[in-house]
Structures are given as structure tokens and as C-alpha cells.
Chain A
Amino acid sequence: MYKTFAIEKISRRAVLRGLGITGGLVVAAPVMSRRGMAAYVTGAGKMPHGTVNNPRVFVAITPDGMVTIIAHRSEMGTGVRTSLPMIVADEMEADWTRVQVRQAPGDEVKYGNQDTDGSRSTRHYLIPMRQVGAAARMMLEAAAAKRWNVPVTEVKAVGHEVVHSGTGRKLGYGELAADAAAQPVVAVADLRLKDPKDFRYIGKGRVSIVDLHDITTGKAMYGSDTRLPGLKYAVIARPPVVGGKLVSFDATDAMKVPGVEKVIEVRGWPWPSKFQPLGGVAVIARNTGAAIMGRDALKVVWDDGANARYDSIAYRAELEDAARKPGLVVRNNGDPEGALKSADKVIVGEYYLPHLAHASMEPPVATARVTGDKAEIWAPVQSPGGTREDVAKTLGISPENVTVNVTLLGGGFGRKSKCDFALEAALLSKAVGAPVKVQWTREDDVRHDFYHTVSAERIEAGLDKSGKVIAWRHRSVAPTIASTFAAGAKHAAPFELGMGLVDLPFDIPNIRCENPEASAYTRIGWFRSVSNIPRAFAVQSMVAEIAQQTGRDPKDMLLDLIGPARIVDTGVKDMWDYGEPLDSYPIDAGRLRKVVELVADKGNWGRSVPKGHGLGIAVHRSFVSYIATIVEVAVDGKGKLTIPRVDTAIDCGTFVNPERIQSQIEGAAIMGLSLAKYGEVTFKNGRTVQGNFDDFPVVRIDEAPIVTNVHIMPAGPDVPPSGVGEPGLPPFAPALCNAIFAATGKRIRSLPIGKQLEST
């Protein structure tokens, strides 16, 4: 299916003419109480600007019957630009072949929160999008009833037209558009949502992504593809050490490069400063290639600042040492200290995971056109609303004067939640008085990332004589994302604690979680699934280690530790649960068990495998979804890994687009394999050692799993939707390393695997 994608303001106005726009209706949170209306509350109302469910904002119909639906979240590969409009289309009985999707600019007052992160889009917008669609449908029905002068109860919208039951008369949506626009918006309390059994698109997986044709023909417009009259192309030399600054530069040779037009300083902000640019020296040219060659010819002197002593090898020892000493207690049940002392056996697992770079295929890039007190941005940002605010602050202009056009994102993974690259473009456009595109090279991307944090995880499990786990102490030590916002932050933020540490769902009487201090020496940021990566690795490796030491089957051990189906009470006051109310999204041990059982069944756990092969299993709840993975690995005599098969079971509640859930989980296996096998960013003298795919490798097709099977739990329409984009990642690496242990007897406790298997 071919859909157009335009973000020009003129098109937007044309779109919005359809139903006639007034101000947005902002609701605090989607609360539904009527039967069949999904009675659950989400945390959407607590997000900046909440949600908007006004059909006038999201839907327009032109007289030719074309329905335009606004996508207000950013498309980075999850399929959200298709899934959310599809919900509206289904609920309003629109024919998807007569729907076009247009991307909203950054405007959260109008559209509601647009931060496309935290695997939140479907869970926060399923109900608001259904409300938008239902209201539009009822307005069309009311318009038809009025036209025919019949009671509205006698008409019904079906398949892009309204039908009168008594006479069989029909009016198409195009014919009704103007009259429908004149109808009042139906109040939420009066909305009739469709019975889920009547869904045409939701939950079916029959709809391809709207950008599919454009992607396969090179027409899809990413951040890097913006072209404007008079556009200048820039690359920037940035301080190699976070907190460093420019001392001086010599542009003589750079200016000799054909096509280079200007070399200027870019303002930098002291670290930490949230997402503000690092500063440096920009080379402006007639094309990007000339700008890159010009930068290569620059001579720059930097003051490296205090982080010049950052050495990640030395820091590893510091983190591991901290994990061996008591730290801030962030969860305590029972008497873990006493239980560990009295235990018959204590098993200790120490795990280490390094910094990672996001390395989305499209490196950061943005275009800005600043004229006077107005700015227009074209950028692949996950946070269009935040970008608008930050551009306004950086330029000292009003947010109303900033337009952020959201392009497609060539991957995001959390990197593009930080809009530093858009701020650079804005500063440069203002400085040179022309539109400027700032292109980051791959080296810029790897060396100036907001890195996934480095982490040391230490777990002690105390067992009684029967082999039952009676005590569990988990110390998690990692520089916090909070350090990117405030100097000196040394403890995990509540949202980091809630990602796989204090939310431990195990049925153990004595549990303690501790968070010793850790300082940051570089920029730390969100990376797909965030702190869940190290926590799931540690916890799920530990389960397999206990199974091994007690002679149990790892899957049985896992189910024993999860314990009976129940709602888990961690005892942690005001525990962060992915920003959701615990009433709607409790930690449900029953659902966790069921994905383990589903994957064990579908993945044929316990099957016999050839010599040199092994099976590993892991399960993890994150982004309020439940996911279990079985990996089959084969390790040859030289330590080379192949992955014949992966099975993943996911319970993400009620779901919208199973075809895209499948693709996200397939992709999570690849990214999980990448970080397990190779993922490591190191620092020496404060500088990132790696720079490109030669020294920061990611998995290629010749080493990818031969097959990844995805098993989606049919949760039913009354189970609130939960995350999909991120939660596939955390269980993969521990499942893989558990499989490697089964195959070789070698336990991997430190990632990446690198050359650790070469001696086996």
C-alpha cells in the first residue's frame, strides 16, 4: 500500500480543513468505566501535556472521501506511524485503502505528549485513538441521520459509508465530511466504542506499514534527506572528552578544501547540561563530503577538562569493588543479612556489562532554518515537543516561533530522544544566516553518544539444605542517567531502580537490593530497554547458575523462583512501574510464568540437540510486558557461535499490530546478539576508543539467528496494552549465555563475549 508523507505546513492546513479545527481537548488520563470500554487507567496523564482525544485534531475528511489521520509519534522502525492511525481508522469504520497518514510537527499542547520512548505509544494511545475514531464515526452518523431526517439509532457507519437500516440508503464519508465537521464533538462519556470482535485491523496484522513503498523506492524522507533552497552542509569537530572545550583552531588548510565555505566556532555548554551541544568547530560547505574533508584538515587545540582521566578498564575495577561493599538499600524484605549468614550454601555471581553506543543506521542529523526570531527544524527526533522547547531556549525565542518537522528516523533506540544535533543546526543556521544541515559522521555518533551505562551487578543467593533459595542480595552499581541532568548524581534514579532491580518478581522470603554510588565520567543516556539490560543479564544468568549448582533444570528453577501465580508486592514505597499505576499494571507472577511455559512449549524446551549445541532460557518483565526467550546456540571448536534457532514468547496485553510485534522481537534478537557478542565502548584518557563498525561491530546477516520464532500471548481485549519496542532485548543475552554454558560448560559473566570462547 502506498501512502504519501508530507510535512509541509501548507499540507497540514489542507488536512485540518476537513473537520474544522478548534482547540485541543486535553484529558488527564483515559479513564473508561463503561462495560466493553477497557476499564483501566494508564500513566499517560502524567506525561507532559497528557493525551488529546479530539477528532478535530487527528482526523480530516475531504469531499473525495479521503480520510487523513495524523500520526503524532515518531517513526523509528516500530511501526507506530501505521499502528496508531490504524486504530483510529478501525474505530471510525474507515477503509484503510482510503486513508492517508500525515506526520504531526512538534506541538504537545495540540497533540498531547509526543515523547516516543519508553515503549509507551500503544499503551498510552490505544484508548485515546479509539476515542478519536469513535467520535469521528458518531459525528458522521449524526450528520447522515440529520440529512435523512431519521433518528440516529437507525443509521450505522460501516466501511467508509453510513447506511440507513430501514431504507438501505447510503452516504459515503466524503459526502458527509462537511456536515460531520459541523457536528459537536461527542463527549467521552457518550462514546460507543466498537466491540473488539468487530475490529477490521486492530489485532489482525494484515496492514503493511504506510511507508513501505517509499522505503523500497528510496523516496522515504529521513532526517538526512531534507533539502532546502540555499542549504549549507556542516560537520562539527567536537571536544573529544566530555566536559572539554575549545582552546584554539587553525582553519587555513580546511579552507583550501574545494567546496568549503566557512569555518566557525559552535557554542558549547558545560557538562552536564541535559541535551545542550558539546560545542566545537563547524566546517560549512556546499556539500557534506566537502565539509567532512574540511574537518579532516582542521587543526584544533582542546582543553580536555576533568574527565581526561577517565579510563574504563580502571573504572571497571572500581565498580566491581563497589559492588562488593554495602550500598544504599533500595528494597528490603525479611532479613536477608541473617538468612545469608545462616544459609547452607551461598552462590555468588558477579557480572559486568560495558558502555554501549546506539549506532542507529542514520547517524544524528538535523536541518534548521532560522530567520529573525523564528526557527524551523527538520529532524529525526523522538521528542518533537521537547526539541521545540529546547530550540526555543537555546535561541532565546518563543516556542510558538519554533516549528519542528518530524522526519522518519533511521533508527532511534533512545539516542534521538536527545535533540543536541537539532540545537547545533539551529545555532549554525542563526550564525551563517542560511539553512544548515548538520550531519554527524559514524565516528561522531560513536564518540559523542549519550552512552548506555557501564554496570557491575553482584548477586548473592543463599540456599537452605534442600536447595531452596531463601535469600537474595543484588547490588547494582552504574553511573546514572541523572548525571546527564545534574552534576554529581551518583545513585540510580527511581526509573532506573524500577528496571529489573527492585521489581524482582521472585518468591524469596528475604530480598535486599542495594545501589552503591557510582560517578559518571561521560554522557549517560537511555538505550533501548535501559537498565533492564544489565539487571536481566545478572538475574537470569544467576538463576541458571543456581540451577546448575543444585542439579535442577533451568526452566524448572526459573518457575520455582517466580513462585505461584500472584500479584507481587515488592514492599518498595511508591515503586516506579514504568510510569504506570500499579493497579492497571501490577507485577503479575502468573503472566510471567505463562510466558515461560509458552516459550518452553512452543520452543520445545528440553529437546535433544547435537553435540556442541545448547539451549538457554531467560524471562524478564519490562515496560510492563512479559517476555521469555529460548536460544539454541552452537559453538564450534574455535569458539565461533552460530544460532540455529530463537523462540520468544511475549505477553504485551491487548495488541494492535502483531506483524510489527513480530518484527520488533526478531530485531531484538539481533540487537541482543550484537551487544552480547561485540557491544563495548571503552574510554582511554577520557576519549572514546571506538569509532565505526570496524571497532564497534554489530551483527551482520551471516551470523544472525537462522530463525527467530515469535509467539504472542493472546491476552484478550480487556488486558491493558504494554510495551513492545524495548522489552524483547533484555532476555536475549542471558538466554544466549545460558545456552553457551549448556553447550560448552563455560559461564560468561562479563559482556561482550568477545574472545572468551576461543579457549574452549
Chain B
Amino acid sequence: MIKLTVNGQEQIWDGDPSLPLLWYLRDEIGLTGTKFGCGHALCGSCTVHIGGQAARSCITAMSDVGGQTVTTIEGLDPNGDHPVQKAWRQENVPQCGFCQAGQIMQAAALLKENPHPSHEDIRDTMSGNICRCGCYQRIEAAIRLAATGA
């Protein structure tokens, strides 16, 4: 039996401990904001925060999150008004939007660690998150906006 906290709520999983956290979140407890894009930590669509750090939920087994605190896009801010979320809307970042939850979670973790990232910092940290529509220019602009609090 694995106990964990997801978006502030205690959860118990008594199924397969090798199940990737992604599928527990999506299929077992219905938090579908976290997306499946590759299954091998290659695209970042499944990014969540574990203990405040950005992590790829598609390669994180349930056995690795026992006792941990997990935050998904649904729990990033109670009103969806995290500075990164607001900046994303201000810059009209998304096209199809599918990768954006992962992008936003990665960007929120970046700004927590590094409140004033450089161009290189942004490009380096965000390079694990693929956007096939190609919203990168706006992703960088939104992170800058969130960082400056504008």
C-alpha cells in the first residue's frame, strides 16, 4: 500500500507499485490535465511536481512516490492564477494546447529555483518539453513575463 498526497489530498494506492504515476493520476484518480506524450521522459508532457521539483510522471513508479507530495496542473493554483498561468494567457501561448500543462509545470519549477532566468536558462531548462505546434517563442516570452511580474 502506497500513501501519497496529490494536490493537497491524501491518496492510497494498493495496486501495482510499478505503475507509472502518470497513469495513476490520469486513469485511477481522474486528473487528466497531466498528459501522455511519449512514455520515456522524452517530451515533458507529463511533467508534475514531486516534492516541489519538476518530474516526468511517465517514468516515475508509484513505489517512488510513497510519502511524497505531488502537484499537478490542476493543483498549481486554486484559481488557475499562478503567475506562469497568467503569463501564458497574456501571451496567448497555446495552439493545440496539449503539451502546455507540462510546459507550465516545468516553467513554474524553473522560476521557483531561478526567479530571473536568462535566455539561456530558459532555453536550457525548457528543452525537455516538446511543443509540436511550435509555440516556443511565446513560451519564452511568457516565462520572461512571469519572471518580471508584469
In the complex, are the beta carbons of A213 and B38 less than 8 A apart?
no
Nearest Cβ on chain A to B8's Cβ, whole angstroms: 15
Q: In the bound complex, how far is the Cα of B138 from the Cα of A79, in angstroms?
A: 16
- For residue B132, CB closer than 8 A to chain A, the reply is yes
User: Is A217 touching B73 in the complex (CB atoms < 8 A)?
Assistant: yes
CB distance from B1 to the nearest CB of A (A): 14
**Contact call B127/A361, Cβ cutoff below 8 A:** no
> Is A289 interfacial (CB-CB < 8 Å)?
yes
Instruction: Say yes or no: B135 contacts A218, CB within 8 Å.
Output: no
A258-B16, A666-B138, A707-B137 are contacts. A360–B123 as well, Cβ < 8 Å?
no
Q: Which residues from A are CB-within-8-Å of B126?
A: 701-702
B27/A701 in contact, CB under 8 A: no
B124 located at the interface, meaning its Cβ lies under 8 Å from any Cβ of chain A in the complex: yes
Note all chain A residues with C-beta closer than 8 A to B128. 700
Say whether A288 contacts B36, CB under 8 Å: yes
Is B16's CB under 8 angstroms from A209's CB?
A: no
| A663 CA / B95 CA spacing, docked (Å) | 7
**B134 and chain A: residue at smallest CB distance:** A670
A257-301 Cβ-contact flags toward B at 8 Å (1 or 0): 111000000000000000000000000001111101100000000
Q: Complex Cα distance A360/B18, Å?
A: 28
The answer on a CB contact under 8 Å between B23 and A361 is no
User: In the complex, what distance in Å separates the CA atom of A259 from the CA atom of B32?
Assistant: 19
Partner of A218, one of B37, B101, B127, B140: B101
Are A362 and B38 in contact, CB atoms less than 8 angstroms apart?
A: no
Give the residue of B19, B34, B72, B139 whose beta carbon is less than 8 angstroms from that of A259.
B19
CB neighbours of B22 from chain A (8 A): 289
Given the contacts A441-B39, A663-B135, A692-B38, A361 and B96 also touching, CB distance less than 8 Å: yes
Report B130-148 residues with CB < 8 Å from chain A CB: 130-140
Q: Report B-chain residues with C-beta under 8 Å of the C-beta of A293.
A: 16, 18
* Interface contact A77-B74, CB-CB below 8 Å: no
B85 near A361 with CB under 8 A, answer no
Closest residue of A by beta carbon distance from B58:
A289
User: How far, in Å, is A286 (CB) from chain B's closest CB?
Assistant: 8
- Residues on B with beta carbons closer than 8 Å to the beta carbon of A78: 95
B109 interface residue (CB < 8 Å to A): no
Q: Give residues of chain A (520-557) contacting chain B, Cβ–Cβ below 8 Å.
A: none
For A290, what are the chain B residues with a Cβ–Cβ distance below 8 Å?
16, 19, 23
Chain A 687-711 interface 0/1 with B at a Cβ cutoff of 8 Å (1 = within): 0000011100011111011011000
Q: Report B-chain residues with C-beta under 8 Å of the C-beta of A666.
A: 134-135, 137-138
What chain B residues lie within 8 Å of A469 (beta carbons)?
A: none
Q: Among the listed B18, B33, B129, which residue makes an inter-chain contact with A701, where contact means beta carbons less than 8 Å apart? A: B129
Complex interface bits, B95-127 against A, C-beta within 8 A gives 1, otherwise 0: 111111100100000000000000000111011
Q: Once bound together, how far apart are the Cα atoms of A526 and B150, in whole Å?
A: 42
Partner of A212, one of B34, B89, B96, B104: B89
- Are A359 and B27 interface neighbours, CB within 8 A? no
0 or 1 for each of A353-365: is its CB under 8 Å from B? (1 = yes): 0000001111100
CB pair B73 A218 closer than 8 Å? yes
B134 touches A442 (CB 8 A): no
Q: Does A669 interact with chain B (Cβ within 8 Å)?
A: yes
Q: Among A164-172, A221-229, A591-599, A751-759, which stretch is in contact with chain B?
A: A221-229
Most A CB atoms within 10 A — which of B34, B128, B133, B140?
B133
Cβ distance A532 to chain B, nearest Cβ, rounded Å: 18
A219 nearest in chain B by CB position: B33
Decide if B28 is an interface residue (CB 8 Å cutoff).
Answer: yes
Option from B34, B37, B88 in Cβ contact (under 8 Å) with A216: B88
Judge if A385 is at the interface, Cβ distance under 8 Å.
no
If A216-B85, A693-B42, A701-B126 touch, does A411 touch B137 (CB 8 Å cutoff)? no
B72's closest neighbor in chain A, by CB?
Answer: A218
Q: Do the beta carbons of B94 and A215 come within 8 Å of each other?
A: yes
Instruction: Decide: B135 and A363 in contact? CB cutoff 8 A.
Output: no
CB neighbours (8 Å) of B67 from chain A are none
Answer whether A693 and B43 are a contact pair too, CB < 8 Å, given A215-B97, A259-B15, A361-B35: yes
Q: What size tier do the contact residues of chain A reach?
A: 35 or more
Answer yes or no: B149 CB below 8 A from chain A CBs.
Answer: no
Which residues of the partner chain B approach A362 to less than 8 Å between Cβ atoms? 35, 37, 96, 98
Asked whether A659 is an interface residue with its Cβ less than 8 Å from the other chain, the reply is yes
State the CA gap A215–B95 with chains docked (Å).
10
Are B42 and A694 in contact, with the CB atoms below 8 A? yes
- Report whether A692 and B19 are in contact in the complex, using a CB–CB cutoff of 8 Å: no
Interface string of B62-94 (1 = CB under 8 A from A): 000000000011101000100001001100101
**For the complex, what is the distance from the CA of A239 to the CA of B15, rounded to whole Å?**
31
| Smallest Cβ-Cβ distance to B44: which chain A residue | A700
Is A667 an interface residue, CB under 8 A from the partner?
yes
Complex interface residues of chain A between 654 and 694 (CB less than 8 A to chain B): 659, 663-664, 666-671, 692-694
Cβ-closest chain B residue relative to A214: B97
When the two chains form their complex, are residues B134 and A667 in contact, meaning their CB atoms are under 8 A apart?
yes
Q: What 0/1 pattern do residues 29 to 60 of B give for CB contact below 8 A with A? A: 01111111111101101000000000000000
CB pair B130 A289 closer than 8 Å: no
Q: Which residues of the partner chain B approach A412 to less than 8 Å between Cβ atoms?
A: 96
- Report the Cα distance A288→B23, complex, angstroms: 6
Residue of A nearest to B140 (CB): A701
**CB of B40 to closest CB in A, whole Å:** 6
Kindly provide the distance from the CB of A237 to the nearest chain B CB, expressed in whole angstroms: 15
> What's the minimum C-beta distance from B24 to chain A, rounded to whole angstroms?
7
Beta-carbon nearest neighbor of A365 in chain B:
B36
- Expressed in whole angstroms, the minimum distance between the Cβ of A230 and any Cβ of chain B is 13
Contact between A287 and B104, CB atoms less than 8 A apart: no
How far is B145's CA from A665's CA once the two chains are assembled, in angstroms?
22
Question: B89–A363 contact, CB under 8 A?
Answer: no
Q: Write the chain B residue with the least CB distance to A704.
A: B136
Specify which chain B residues have a CB less than 8 angstroms from the CB of A439 in the assembled complex.
36
- Give chain B nearest CB distance to A122 CB in angstroms: 16
Given contacts A216-B89, A411-B133, A663-B92, 13 further A-B contacts (CB under 8 A): A77-B95, A79-B95, A215-B100, A218-B32, A218-B73, A222-B35, A259-B16, A286-B15, A289-B19, A410-B99, A442-B37, A442-B39, A702-B123
Binding site for B on A (CB under 8 A): 75-79, 208-209, 211-213, 215-222, 224-225, 227, 233, 257-259, 286-290, 292-293, 359-363, 408-413, 439, 441-443, 659, 663-664, 666-671, 692-694, 698-702, 704-705, 707-708
B→A interface (CB under 8 Å): 15-16, 18-20, 22-24, 26-28, 30-40, 42-43, 45, 72-74, 76, 80, 85, 88-89, 92, 94-101, 104, 122-124, 126-140
Instruction: Name the 6 nearest CB pairs between A and B, nearest first.
Output: A218-B33, A670-B134, A410-B98, A289-B23, A77-B96, A77-B95
15 A-B interface contacts by CB (under 8 A): A211-B94, A217-B33, A217-B76, A289-B19, A289-B24, A361-B35, A410-B96, A412-B96, A439-B36, A663-B92, A666-B134, A666-B135, A667-B133, A668-B134, A670-B133
